[in-house]
Structure 1
Amino acid sequence: RKLRKIDPNRKPKKPIDKYIWLAGHFATLFFSLVYFGYYFTFSSRRSIIAKISYKIVLLGIIFAYSVSMKSTFGKVPPGYFTLLSTDNFQYLLLSFVWLFNRNSAFKILPYFIISILQISDHFKIDAILKYEFEFKLIIEYNELFLFVLLTFDTLLCRGTSGYALVMFAAFFSLKIMFNDNIRQFIYSFVVRLDGVMSKQKNEKILTLWTDIKNFLDKKK
């Protein structure tokens, strides 16, 4: 089974654009590692270093992906439908959502992995590129986990999780609509979980789960 080709970062042609692109990805890598250090070692996630590192990661993403879009489409902006169908634009929009939402390592993990692959491809690091499929698989499972996590956060009324869930659901819907591989991947995952989720007594969770299944059935 093939996963979708993740290529949201086309290499820029102009030297200045290339430097911005590289700087954005290296910033994403370095400051993601700093934030992960705080997050997964249970150090203070609210420390100023963790907060600043998280914001720099997202800013690096915005710079790198913006340059990639410029390199892909040039000065003439593409049509609305074309933009929405590209991974680059989808992930760029999502980075703005995370910039004004609760910090989480799972929100920046996909960007971290994509930066690893992009830098490895740029410098031809085959020792890393040979695990490209496994890296992409981690991204897909992480995004499914994040969707579930945001759903529970919304039910528990944590911060702006409701707003984040709506935006992430829109992001997920775009991926399902425009990518057959992602649609089949998610559908197979939903089928495996259906036995457990269908027995839920919480009406909100059960209704959301039914809506997800119906949506996937229509798009199948």
Structure 2
Amino acid sequence: MPGEAILSATGLTPVEEKRALRAAVLAARSALPAADRLERSHAIAQRLEEVPCFRDARTLALYAALGAEVDASGIAAGAASRGVLLVYPRIVPGDRRLAFARCAPEALVRGPMGALEPPAEAPPVPRDAVDCVLMPGVAFSPDGHRLGRGGGYYDATLEAMPRAARVGLAFDLQLVPALPAEGHDARLDALVTEARVLLFRRESR
């Protein structure tokens, strides 16, 4: 499993552990052939239907895959066909928290951090109106913790929207035995991979 040797090492600070884990897991994920990633993404979309907070969501926050992340385009198409309102995050200058706007996947534009996001004219949607947030990540642990790219955007955003369910999407190789958790790290309600669905219980919702 990617990162096991790093987790067993001694003398690393949490920041150093996270940096080493990111490098190991990103390398393993990038090594997956594109066709394999698409097939696994399709399996993840099917397994996601087992998650109640996703099925019940009327306003769903998604993301456009960056690099070798799980492709959520099939999830978006299925949710839209059921009448679910799709919103996507965008960077807010001077604010670590992401904003959300209503947008069709094909209308997304390249943002300042390289990710696709809603254009400036897309109708904004308040954070507290979002029922469920689907999010990518670099690594995940079996107790519901997530390791992102290091910017802290999702952690800060989710802290500001406690009502929204939090669902991580990942390939199974991104699951590591444990993650060095810090106080600001946002815990998930569910993690979905091509091989499993893990549900967690947060103390406050």
TM-score (norm 2): 0.28
Structure with the largest fraction of strand: 2
| Largest Rg, 1 or 2 | 1
Structure with the largest fraction of helix: 1
